[in-house]
Structure 1
Amino acid sequence: MFIAYAVTASLLALLLLASASGKLRRDEKMVASFTEIGVPLSWLPLLAACEIAGALGLVAGIWVGPLGVAAAVGVVLYFVGAVGAHLRKGDLKGTPPAAVVLVVSAAVLALGVAAL
């Protein structure tokens, strides 16, 4: 299970860093999506910081298992919020990508717990 956790956590960390980069650069598509669902643009740096922290925690979890599990819990909660925000506004374009990352995050959490 450890190898599965290490691989999936690393890939999820890369995805989180890419997403954080888009938020910090204020990518047009991201800004449009956040505006559409009513998230203030002033939250983008905080949301990016949460993703960066999650990515660092997942990678650190390769060496310190409980830290990886804690980071995975945080990432799952982050994406529960993301899916909820999209569903609240009826955003059918933005919900599936957030839901897919939520499922991947939950899988990484399960693998992290199994690897302890």
Structure 2
Amino acid sequence: MFTVYVVVTVLAAVVYGSAAVANLAGHAYPKAQADKLGVPYAWIPWLGTALGAGALGLVAGFVVPALGIAAASGLVLYFVGALGAHLRVGDRNYGAWSFCCALAVAALALRVTV
């Protein structure tokens, strides 16, 4: 079980860390998503910072479990908010969201149980 926790947590940290870099570097994908979901560009660096903090918190959770739980919980809430943004504009493209949200939920569930 511990191996599964490590694999899922490292995968999550890489995915969210990459998304954070894309947001903070001004990549076109976060801007296109912001346009589609009606999110102001001024929010993109803040959202990227939240993703980066979540990724770092997941890794820190290997040493301090409470940080891992807090980071995973924050990421789950982040993706609940993202679902709200998708629903608000009637967007039905949930592929990337469902993967990222499921990864956050799995990281949280595994951190709590391990």
TM-score grouping bracket, smaller chain normalisation: over 0.9
Q: TM-score, normalised by structure 2?
A: 0.93
Q: Distance in 1 between matches of 2:80 and 2:47?
A: 13
Structure 1 position 99 matched with structure 2 position 91: no
Q: CA RMSD in A?
A: 1.2
Residues 69, 111 of structure 2: 8 Å contact kept: yes
Structure 1 position 11 matched with structure 2 position 11: yes
Instruction: For residues 30-83 of structure 1, give each alpha carbon's deviation from its aligned partner in whole angstroms, at most 9, with x where no partner exists.
Output: 211111211000011110110111001000101111110111000100011112
Q: Distance in 1 between matches of 2:70 and 2:2?
A: 16
Residues 20, 49 of structure 1: 8 Å contact kept: yes
Structure 2 unaligned spans of 5+: none
Q: Distance in 2 between matches of 1:49 and 1:2?
A: 28
Give the deviation of 1:24 after TM superposition. 1.4
**Which residue matches 1:63?**
63
Identical counterparts, % of pairs: 44
Residues 24, 49 of structure 2: 8 Å contact kept: no
